[in-house]
Structure 1
Amino acid sequence: MKWPTFTDPAPNETYNFTAKVQDMRPLRVLIVIGLLFMAAFVWVYFQPANQGNAWLFGLLTVSVIFKLLRLLHEWYHYWNVRPSTPPRVSRVWTVDVLTTYCPGEPYEMVLNTLQAIQAMPYPHTTFLCDEADDPYLRQQCAALGVRHVTRTSRKDAKAGNINNALQQATGEICLVLDPDHVPVPNFLDQVLPYFEDASIGFVQCVQGYYNRKESVVAFGAAEQTYSFYGPMMTCMGNYGTAQAIGANCTFRRAALDSIGGHANGLSEDMHTAMRLHAKGWKSVYVPLPLSYGLVPATLSAYYKQQLKWARGTFELLFITFPKVFRGLSGRQRLHYGTLPIYYLLGVVQLIDLLIPICSLVQMQLPLYLDLPLFATVYLPLLATGFLIRQYAQRWLIERHEPGFHLVGGLLASGTWWVYVLGFIYTLLRVKVPYIPTPKDDKPRNNMILVLPNLLMCLASVVAIGYSTYEFGRFAHDNIYSRMLIGFALLNAAIMGINVLIGQEKLLVWISVRIRGLARRKSAVWSVRIMAWKARYGLYSWLRLSAIPLFGVVLLLATGMTIYTYQEHAGLPRHIRHANTQPFYVGAEPSVTLAAPSRIANPDHRLVVQHIGWPVGSSSPIQPILPESANQIPLLYLEPMPGQTHPQKAMLAFIQAMLAGKYNPVLEQFARTLNTYKHPVLVSFMPEFDDPAHPWGSEHEPTLRLYRQAWQYLVHFCQQRGTENVAWIWCPSRPSSITDHFPGNPYVDWLGLPILDDPAEAPDERGWSFASLYQIPRNTVRLHKSYSIRQKPILITHFGSVSGRLQPASWIQDGLTIIQERYPEVRGVVFDYPSPLLTKVMDNLPRN
């Protein structure tokens, strides 16, 4: 690498940070309204009716709370972005500048930094803290006028090395620089004025990077720091919580001496700042890039750095923070209590990866939330957070920094397992050695380091495939299942990109080819320039247009709220995709269910009605529809052919229906359903293939006509806008499922009778629900029409007359196995009363 020098003072033409008083007012308005949006989201999210599977909901809640807290933490540090004003200089300070060297670090890098330090015009003494007592560096220090300091013990790593040199240093001010950090000439001139205030313990400045374009990892790692060193650290300076960064921090020597020197640890800079603040010393942040250093350029170097920081900050949170708590101010307690929590991001990202996988494998949802309502409360919050961040980019430090910072976000997402490891190491008290971030690490194609991400990528893809195969009836037609598949695909893509990021030699090869093509083809270079201009033009437009765009967000949020309110006032959430809703319960009119307060899901109780339709009569179909929107009518339309020649009467009835002779009756029926507005389940000629019913038949010609009649009825009602109707097709025999399915557009649910009645069984024995359900279930799963496998199932006759198990035990066992093994079953209709039915109802599955 060619080690750079910086001869221009800061700020220069690349400086982006602007500070205007009037810029704060619009941002604070955005934050206040964003808090209202957040409150609305939290209120809706935590409604008890929206809770899905308990474990998945709990995991999702942890993730949601963490993300909301991070958003609050970010907005808190946007509230007062105002740079400090330096006092008037009244004196000259004695200054020591210390940098370090560890064995194996490049000589050229260290010498380049020493030369830049010596080039600073402000009077100072330079120290090289050499852990290796390197003869070559000792010689070079003598030539440069640098004091060479070494030690025989390496206790406390970097902190011990600095403290050893402090025993020989006598300056009033001490600047600590990492050996890769090259200072600009006016570094000391920019920070020393703040020490005129005798209470200032240290002054921190921006940490810039000169190798950010070296690799994808370097680019992403640099992106992760832009907002922190821009608006957030500037605001910390106003809160009295400016954070010391060990790479380029300037200390008052008396402050360091008051805490016994530079603090040790894996996060020694944060430890030092914490102890200085607890001693009552104040800190200042200068939003100027006064030195430029190296950001990790390989995945190995980046992961080592992140593991060290995660382990070190968790150690400070659990061990040091309680000890210094009393000495800190309120804002400092909040600062040091929340800053290390960033590294819990790994645990939360692991949860985010597991939720879609577990949901798809079990076909369970963590949340039962109506999509329009969810969009109404979530999208405004999401858009507001995005616009606040874009608006705050006017306080980023250099002109290249604005953007969406997608590479940094992707890189952080792939670091989840490193952060989890740091957390586990803290809990188990596993020591991590202090190893300086490698400065000249070479690119390689990593496989071991990307293995956790590769496994998560494969697990997400396998979960999608398993869910599609096992629960195909819900995998495509259902918007909620498609969302889960979408989240799993997104996670797989993010993990896959991180696997690709780890293939550094491959990326270098691709980069060389692209650059070579750009040099040979002027058109390629022109396209790159145009893309660069378009990208930064977009960032600038978003930054300047954040307030007008927020006005659009408010209008859209208002419109969505009105729409959602009207939608809910007129029509509750649809039951067509029932696997996204609670479990539905009904009973034949002869069965008395428990009181609504004792039913697990009283808001979704099916009210069964058998409506006789006299054949040959033009009398209207008059269902009795419940007034409560919490009850869903299940209407069985049952033709009554009379006692004389019922088969001929039914055949004539179906033919007349297909000829349109019953259209006036159907027209009135459709108007009745449309007027009702609430969801309705309708079945025409239930168990049409059972000759025990007056309308039933075993004859193939009649069954084919029946299928046509079903299609005619459904199409007739659909044309008249009966969108609140879900059609439940109820065959009684598995063969009918295979031979007479009306087709996907005409069926929303399948209704299957599963009744344990030894008198009807060939062997006159009683059987469990699982045994009775197996044959119709397999028939559905193996059906040639894939669409039938996407339908929720209602057990239209659920119960036991007698047999090996008592009816209550049969019911309870059946409900348990439905919950554990048959997620496609979304409701049951009890067929026989049971003295223990009330007790069993309390254990109904919720999802």
Structure 2
Amino acid sequence: MRNNIKAPTTNENRVIKFLILLGIVSILNFLYFFLDRESWGNTFLFILLSISLFYGILKKIYLWYNYSNISIPKKPDKKQDFTVDVLTTYFPGEPYQMIITTLEAIIKIKYPHETFLCDEANDPYLKDFCKSHGIHHVTRNNRVDAKAGNINNALRKVAKGDITVILDPDHIPDPDFLDQVIPYFSDPEIGFVQTVQGYYNIKETLVARGAAEQTFQFYGPMMMTLNSYGSVNAIGANCVFRRSALDSIGGHAPGLCEDMHTAMKLYSRNWKAVYLPKILAQGLAPSNLTSYFKQQLKWARGTFDLLFKVYPKLFNKFSLRQKIHFGILPLHYLSGLITLLNFIIPIISLLFSITPWKGNVIDFGLALLPMVGSSILIRTYIQKWVIQRKERGFHLIGGLLEINTWWIYLLGFFYTILNKNIPYLPTPKENEFATNYRIIIPNSIVALISVIAVFIGLSNDYTPFTMVMSGFAIFNAIIMLLGIYLTIKTTNENNILRNNLRKDLVAKLNSLRIKTLKAGNSLFTVTRFTALPILLIVLITSVWLKQQKDGKRWDDISAQYYQPESGSYLGIYHPDRDTGVVNLSEIKKIEKEQQLDFNIISFYLSWDKNAKNNFPEKLLKSIKAENAIPMITWEPWLKEKNTENSRKGQESILKRIANGEYDSYINTFGKQLAEFDEPVYLRFAHEFDNPQYPWSKTKGNLEEEFKLAWKHVYNLLKSQGAYKIMMVWNPWKFENMNKFYPGDEYVDWVGFTLLNYAKLNKRGKTVAFEKLYKEFHDKLYWFTRKPVMLAEFGSVKSSNSNEQSNWLRNSSEILRNEFEEVKAVVMFNSAYDNNIPEGKVYLEEYIDWTTDSIGLFSEYQGSISYRKPDTRNRISTNNRLKFKKYPRGVRYKKGLNWKDNYYVLSRKTLLKDFRLMKKVGINTILYPGGNVYDHNTLKYSQRNNINIMYDFQTFEPVDFINNEAVVTEMEEEILEKVKNLNNHENITGYSFNLRLEDYYNKPLLFEQQQAMVDWYTQLFPKIKLYSPSTPVVLNIELNSETRYILSELNKYVPADYFGLVVRDTAYLDKTIDLATKEKIPLLITSISPEFLDQININQSTAILENWQDERFTNKLSYDGMLDFEGRKKSNLRTISENWGKNNLTESELKLGILKPAVPLLAIGNEKATYHAVLYFNNSWHHENNLDKDLRYEWTLIKTDTFSNPLALKKLGNGPKITLNVPQDYENYRLLLTVTSPAEEYVLRKLISLNIPLKTKEVDDDE
């Protein structure tokens, strides 16, 4: 169905121009991202890729340029009579029926005219036909200038009309052809009128369909815009010329593209043209690949010839629009060269393991999306002006056919460069299929090489980038195979399905086709109305997402911590008298009355040096019998005798505890807790900042004394094996509470006292829960993420019976909706509280906190499982395997989380790393497997004689108790992996981790850890069945509990070695002593470079913590032996000297940074200058005295609240740097890296931006 084409309305023109503007903005946005220097890969391939992209962008902009001013000529009212000559040609070999059909159609044209057949063969049959039908038969005795010469011969000899119509012999004109065209020649400036070149054999073959598709946009909106620009192309198949115009240029111009040549010459003589967007004649499109290739070769060679030889001569005679059109249009045929580049890029990338671009793929997609969206939406919108509705679409066959023609276009280009002539042959018109199969040889070669490159590339270098490149190569191969498909007659014919399928199935397919077309038209209609808003949304959304993503890498970056699961717990403190001890019978009664099940039962216990009488063993066991966890509020009430010496009398209780005065009592208490061997909350010295308690009284620094005492108590308890205690740190006020915090290592839960004293409050009225808790909540965020317990919670009972319940109800709703960190609520359900606030009159002896509204907090009820280990026997230590070669290694973590990782474990990277490792004496890597880089790492480590201790940390499931199916699946994956790894001789061990602290808080941690140990106990023997000679290592983190856990693991877990992950050496010596004593096979499987000097590195077997500083999109580390750029750090020197036996010269240089003398004011955008200083020759030197060959690199590091590094930003080079200091400067560090041509190792200095007032600053040397 032909489209009823109308010129765009004013509003439609605005939409088109705005769409094109958004498209250009999308292109600029993409280029800004793509050209970022940090994303460049291999320079050669990047240049090739850039050429391809820039060509595509230029082509796209040129298309949009030719969409931006669509016009349809108005038919003149004034009519003028002209004499008309209609000429068509004949070339030997063309079918008679085709030319006769055309001649018969010409005769039927209504407008008066003379018909001419320009016969190159002087064919007798055609001569007779012409004579019998009144047609002028014209011939000549030579073939000079091919078609143009044939036409000019007729013009010189016989054709004398005012108007000359030139039709190809296959083009059948409509009877009203001249009636539609002639009126436009009423304007004496019009030199020619061009109409649409239509085809009537589109459905014949896929090639015909594809060839026609390539013209749909051109004869629609493009030519309509060229009509506005005064740059209409003449198309030799059906063009109408003014005879005087042709005579002015010496007749029809010669050449392979004689029609374009003729138009150029006419424009140079100031003739004008009109494009009439109507199909008034239809011809034949090439129906097979040979015909199509011949046509395209002729056009490619002809247009390049015009560009190089004719265009420069006529350039100054063209208008600006004509200069643009005739200068750019021939470049379409450069697509052959660009397509060749698109083939070459993935092939070279795969064969040589290099990549043209190494940026973030998701960022690339976000930058590319608006550009692709604009291309699709502009094309869709502009298709209102295609000639027929059925021409709408994406024209995939035409696009694929064009790609297959790459070598033809390239041949035309080189023929032009070499000035090699090709004979003029008319576009083949014979329908009979005749294909020379040699024409598919180039495409077959490309397909074959692409497939071979994929196999070689993935075998040599299996990375996400090679997978992407393999995708491109496979895509190219598939397109090339399409050429073979089109070459074969059977598959090329469009009717293959119709002729070979059952009629009912053909009918169904036809029905589906019709429905698809209807849906396509409906989608087209909707898209036309929504194209502009959709493109705006796509562009804005993509840019916003990109900015958000970039912001998350710097401005809005936040630490992505896994929030450990804590469970939820409901507890109670319910004494029957003023003793601090609870009555379990009454608690059971409350549970029954209020339908509750308490998980925590709290009581108070004062210190007593007579520890055996003091320890509440019976009560603890009774609470355990109720399936609850005891919470001991352990109060250091210490009564001193008058005989105590004066010095001790002046010291605070906390200081005396820290100094060891009560070690015997604490140790005894710890042993008894260890013997109880069940989880216990221990709330030591609660409300340490409450002046009512004696442990808060001191003449010294209370904050420091408390922290020292806390750590001392903690260490003593752990040393006695009480590793199931859970320390609850409970401040009284929120002000300055962070100064009392001893650190996450020493705290398991944070407790708060939240009691509403109602009328007994200072202001004599109830204080809302939110007001009581909000300040604690806000302050807590900045120094810990430990779970929170409301350790004393309640509201005083008052004369108003509803006041207490209303307060509790409101509190429960707020807790449910706002404060998710609160994981436990312990009701202070006491009727015996004699702590009456100062200055308040209270007639009763005790304050009553009891309530029957505890059920409001029932959702905090959890389930406590006193899990017992699976039944198991002590293992025999005689069966343990030993390493054949003791590992001196390093953790190789560069491939973790590849989507967020800045490093790519390519072949080049691995070879470089492994060769350096061997040089410095490293023989093993502890490799966290199960990621995309397994293939590369296993392959190249074996080739370079680097052993692998394969770590299964990425296989760890989260829940070992409730996710039995997941655990089973993981076990199957591990065993399957072990079987596969047996083929690799350099696998010297399998590494597993007993580290669930990142997933669970206590007490859940105890249960999960026990379940995980039970799982390992069953898993390790199964591994031995598949790999009987490979040692299994179980890693545990070194801390205060390690010795106890290690001793138990050694008895029951059939691991060959126990690996220590050393983050702090405080417990290292004692742990090694225990291992020696109990003959536990111990191996250091992670130790930070900063601790190397604390072990005998020369003789020890150890795995160092990290090979290279890590850089992810949301976190960094400095613990590697190479920096972010892969340069050697100073800690690698120690390894090289000891393990590699390399005699290195110690650098005499020491690096420092001179900070601004004035403290920073935290006002934002404050400028500060930092200077590099170097120490050598026994003195410090500033920039004027520094070696000019030194290179200084300044980097700003952003950290989280806990000083963990998150992101980096390069600031610049030079011996000094001036920067705008962020307002929250305490969350930033400045890193200076100095390199020298004479030094193999880099110098680094990491500092805070300044010394904040009243805050201790720590600068790190590297």
TM-score, normalised by the number of residues in structure 1: 0.70
One-letter amino acid of the structure 2 residue matched with residue 91 of structure 1: Q
Which protein is bigger by CA-based radius of gyration?
2
**AA at the equivalent of 2:200:** Y
Q: Which position in structure 2 is the counterpart of 1:578? A: none
Q: Secondary structure at the match of 2:252?
A: coil
State how 1:63-212 maps to structure 2 within 5 Å: 63-167=52-156, 168-212=158-202
Between the two structures, name the one with larger relative contact order (CA 8 Å, sep ≥ 6).
1
Residue 417 of structure 1 is aligned with which of 407, 431, 439?
Answer: 407
Distance 1:710 1:159, change over 3 A: closer
1:775 matches 2:945:
yes
**1:253 maps to 2:243:** yes
Partner of 2:574: none
**Whole-Å Cα distance in 1 between the matches of residues 1238 and 400 of structure 2?**
49
2:3 corresponds to 1:15 = yes
Shift in Å at residue 522 of structure 1?
3.9
CA 1:469–1:747: 2 relative to 1, 3 Å: closer
RMSD: 4.5
CA distance in 2, matches of 1:447, 1:50: 43
Quick one: distance in 1 between partners of 2:293 and 2:553?
Answer: 49
- Structure 1 residues 322 and 411: alpha-carbon distance in aligned structure 2, compared to 1, 3 A threshold: same
Q: Is the 8 A contact 1:445 1:506 kept in 2?
A: no
Would the aligned equivalents of 1:673 and 1:725 in 2 still touch at CA under 8 Å?
no
Could you tell which deviates more after superposition, 106-115 or 543-552? 543-552
Indicate the SS of the match to 1:175.
strand
Structure 2 counterpart of 1:347: 337
Q: Is the 8 A contact 1:518 1:524 kept in 2?
A: no
Change in 2 beyond 3 A, CA 1:112/1:725: closer
- Unpaired runs of 5+ residues, structure 1, are 1-12, 575-651, 676-698, 753-769, 790-795, 798-824
Residue aligning to 2:289? 299
Other-structure match for 1:556: 541
Aligned to 2:1099: none
Query: In the TM superposition, what whole-angstrom CA distance separates every residue of 1:179-200 from its partner, at most 9, and x where no partner exists?
Result: 1001111111111111111111
Residue 504 of structure 1: CA displacement?
A: 2.1
Measure how far apart 1:667 and its partner are: 10
Whole-Å separation in 2 of the counterparts to 1:311 and 1:320:
13
Paired residue secondary structure (2:332): helix
1:268 matched residue in structure 2: 258
CA contact (8 A) 1:154 1:160 kept: yes
For the structure 1 residues 149 and 33, does the alpha-carbon distance in structure 2 shift closer, same or farther, using more than 3 Å as the test?
A: same
Q: Is the 8 A contact 2:219 2:386 kept in 1?
A: yes
Counterpart amino acid of residue 32 in structure 1: L
Q: Is the 8 A contact 2:192 2:273 kept in 1?
A: yes
> How many Å apart are 1:566 and its aligned residue?
1.8
> Residue 161 of structure 1 aligns to a residue in which SS?
helix
The sequence identity of aligned pairs, in percent, is 39
Instruction: Please tell me whether residue 364 in structure 1 is matched to residue 534 in structure 2.
Output: no
| Structure 2 contact 923–945 (Cα < 8 Å) conserved | no
Kept after mapping to 1: 8 A contact 2:381/2:527: yes
| AA aligned opposite 2:537 | V
The whole-number CA distance in structure 2 between the counterparts of 1:148 and 1:658 is 111
Select the residue among 26, 29, 32 that pairs with 2:21. 32
* Superposition deviation, residue 87 in structure 1: 1.7
The total of aligned residue pairs comes to 664
Report Cα offsets for 1:632-664 as digits up to 9, x if no partner: xxxxxxxxxxxxxxxxxxxx99x9999999x96
Matches of 1:787 and 1:348 in 2, distance apart?
A: 46
> Which of 189, 210, 217 in structure 2 is aligned with 1:220?
210
In structure 2, the CA distance between the partners of 1:569 and 1:190, relative to structure 1 (3 Å rule), is: same
SS in 2 for 1:459: helix
Deviation at 1:85, TM superposition (A): 1.1
Match of 2:1128 among 829, 835, 844: 829
Task: Work out whether residues 726 and 749 of structure 1, in 8 Å CA contact, stay in contact via their aligned partners in 2.
Answer: no
Q: Matched residues in 2 for 1:423 and 1:746: separation? A: 43
Instruction: Choose the corresponding residue for 2:41, options 42, 46, 52.
Output: 52
Is the Cα–Cα contact under 8 Å of residues 196 and 280 in structure 2 kept in the other structure?
Answer: yes
Paired amino acid for 1:564: K
Correspondence for 1:744: 930
How far apart, CA to CA, are the structure 1 residues paired with 2:359 and 2:981? 32
2:226, 2:232 within 8 Å by CA — same for their partners in 1?
Answer: yes
CA–CA distance in structure 2, aligned partners of residues 783 and 666 of structure 1: 41
Residue of structure 1 in register with 2:669 after alignment: none
**Superposition pairs of residues 455-470 of structure 1, within 5 angstroms:** 455-470=445-460
Q: Residue 637 of structure 2 aligns with which residue?
A: none
Deviation at 1:537, TM superposition (A): 3.7
- Determine the structure 2 residue equivalent to 1:41: 30
Verify: 1:495 aligned to 2:480, yes or no: yes
Deviations for 1:690-741, whole angstroms, at most 9, x for unmatched residues? xxxxxxxxx976879x99x999x99xx99xx999999999997899989975
**Residues 564 and 237 from structure 1, CA distance in 2 versus in 1: closer, same or farther, beyond 3 angstroms?**
same
Secondary structure of 2:281's counterpart equals strand
1:279 is displaced (CA, Å) by 1.1
Closer, same or farther: CA 78–674 of 1 in aligned 2, 3 Å: farther
Pick the structure with more helix per residue: 1
CA contact (8 A) 1:360 1:485 kept: yes
Q: Whole-Å Cα distance in 2 between the matches of residues 434 and 724 of structure 1?
A: 57
TM-score (norm 2): 0.48
| Residue 424 (structure 2) pairs with residue 434 (structure 1) | yes
Deviations 1:502-556 (A, max 9, x none): 2223444971555652367643443343344334443444344323422431342
Aligned to 2:1051: none
Matches within 5 A, 1:500-519: 500-508=485-493, 511=496, 514=499, 516-518=501-503
The alpha carbon displacement at 1:461 in A equals 1.3
Q: Tell me what 1:534 maps to.
A: 519
Displacement of 1:748 after TM fit? 9.2
Judged with a 3 Å threshold, the aligned counterparts in structure 2 of structure 1 residues 137 and 68 are, in CA distance, closer, same or farther, namely: same
Alignment-derived partner of residue 618 in structure 1:
none
Distance in 1 (alpha carbons) for counterparts of 2:471 and 2:151: 51
Structure 1 position 50, deviation (Å): 2.6
> Which AA in structure 2 matches 1:269?
D
Distance (whole Å) between structure 2 residues aligned to residue 500 and residue 392 of structure 1: 32
CA contact (8 A) 2:890 2:922 kept: no
Answering whether residue 532 of structure 2 is matched by residue 547 of structure 1, we say yes
Superposed displacement of residue 84, structure 1: 1.3
Contact 2:288 2:435 in 1 (8 A): no
Q: Tell me which moved more, 730-739 or 443-452.
A: 730-739
| Residues 423 and 726 of structure 1, relative CA distance in 2, 3 Å threshold | closer
Q: Is the CA contact (8 Å cut-off) linking 1:16 and 1:394 kept in structure 2?
A: no
- After the TM superposition, which of the residue ranges 740-749 and 557-566 deviates more from structure 2? 740-749
Deviates more, 1:401-410 or 1:443-452: 443-452
Give the drift of 1:259. Answer: 0.7
